[in-house]
Amino acid sequence: MPTPKRATPQIAFKPADFIAKNPVFRVDEFQRLHRAAGNEDASAASAIAYHVAQGGLVNLRRGLYAHDKKANPFLVASRLTRDAVIAYDGALAFHGYKYAGPRISFMTKERCTPFDFGGKHLVPVRVPTDLAKLEDWGGFLRWEELSGLPVTITSLERTVVDLLDRIDLAPPVAHLHELANLPRNDFEAMISYAERLGHPVTAARLGVLLEQNVSIPHQTLWRLDRLAPRSPSSWDRTMKGKGVWHSRWKLVVPKTLG
């Protein structure tokens, strides 16, 4: 006698409840739960259209909805792709540093175009190739809550190293130097992440910023020595010999760091 098939349990799903709890959401999030409750995809579109018509939702861009156009830009950036991680200058701003500009960068492996919202320029940045192969993209991530929703963001220590890796997204050198040497920084975490990233020039930049910090043990900095370039390099490509040669790190650095 064949064993009777068990009915697949359905998930209770009420569109109005979902919308009330999600001030910003992707339509695929809504559709997934709607489908899991045994509903047709067409009715998901109808439900969203109804709430838009009632004024309870606005369509920010294709596939992205919010209660209104006053949504938190960080929350919007975190929903522009399914895998978005607030990073670089975006993470710097999220952590509360005043010298972060109007851009909010976020890491993603998905295709996405920049989006202007709430006076901010939301910009996708591809995950570094070597880190994209890792499940946690190199780690040192944090999970914060905004308006009741989870947002993934790089830790301050990782953010500093990422900014040294992408100077084009970073504040001026003086601010980077200050950031790298904040007393509350976990210097071990910064160097461990630099090792995971494995970019020689980035490791050398970090070494230049940290080497005068007396609170960091010499043996800890030696780990960056092993990562540093083996041939002469520049802090960035625009210097064209205008900087100061730093022999330990084989790096031409800005005169303010010389």
**HEC profile of 164-176:** HHCHHHCCCHHHH
Cα distance between residue 180 and residue 201, in whole Å: 16
81-132 residue pLDDT tens = 999 999 999 999 999 987 777 999 999 999 999 999 999 999 999 999 989 9
The closest alpha carbon to 125, from 149, 139, 106, 138, belongs to 106
Instruction: Give the confidence band of 240 by pLDDT, cuts at 50, 70, 90.
Output: low
78-91 residue pLDDT tens = 999 999 999 999 99
Token pair in block for residue 213: 């910090």
Give every CB contact of residue 196 below 8 A, 6+ residues apart in sequence.
131, 134, 138, 139
User: Residue 204: in which H helix or E strand, if any?
Assistant: helix 200-210
DSSP code string of 44-91:
HHHHHHHHHHTTS-EEEETTEEESSTT--HHHHHHTSSTT-EE-HHHH
* pLDDT score of 6: 44
161-175 residue pLDDT tens = 999 999 999 999 989
